[in-house]
Amino acid sequence: MIGTGSPPPLGRPHDCTSGTPDHWDPKPDERILYRDKQTGDLGYLVRRNGQDRIRLDRPGQEILRKLEDFDEENEFRPYNLHQVAVLAFESDKLLAKMQGNHSESKREWMSLREEERIRFMQHGPKGGGLRGELWEAIMSVLKPHAR
């Protein structure tokens, strides 16, 4: 969760998933999330060898970075605009198939030229109609949650 929990003060009792005051990992629901200032990678606060570090949010891997390279994530936005556009594109393909437009339903996102992908991300499918309404609905719901 954002903004809850913190590492225990050194030398004080603590309740965490593992470790000692010098080596501490928060419970999943107590993680303070941070975003890398340069790459946008997501991580959370841990303590290693008595120092606060950021552990990248990658299951099964312990990749640690310096805290000063990260900003606290005030509002968690799990998606990027590209992911939202791909979801809208795949939904558009399914609707095109339901409408009997089989050639449109067989297009692949990565087969589109870059200009076509950008146009779809900004304006949706050509021709508007019900497909345009679906694109607008998806974008209006998910775009505010994208980074």
Contacts of 87 (CB under 8 A, 6+ apart): 138, 142
Contacts of 135 (CB under 8 A, 6+ apart): 88, 91, 92, 124, 125
What is the Rg, in whole angstroms, of the alpha carbon atoms belonging to the chain? 21
pTM of the model: 0.56
Which pair of tokens denotes residue 1? 């969760």
* Tens of pLDDT, residues 5-18: 445 444 433 444 55
Number of CB atoms found within 10 A of residue 74's CB: 10
Q: Would the CA dihedral through 60, 66, 67, 73 be positive or negative?
A: negative
Nearest to 64 by CA among 76, 74, 49, 79: 49
* Tens of pLDDT, residues 45-74: 999 998 999 999 888 899 999 999 998 887
- Mean pLDDT per 10-residue interval, the chain, length 147 residues: 46 48 86 86 91 90 92 79 94 96 95 95 93 97 85
Amino acid residing at 10: L
DSSP state of 146: B
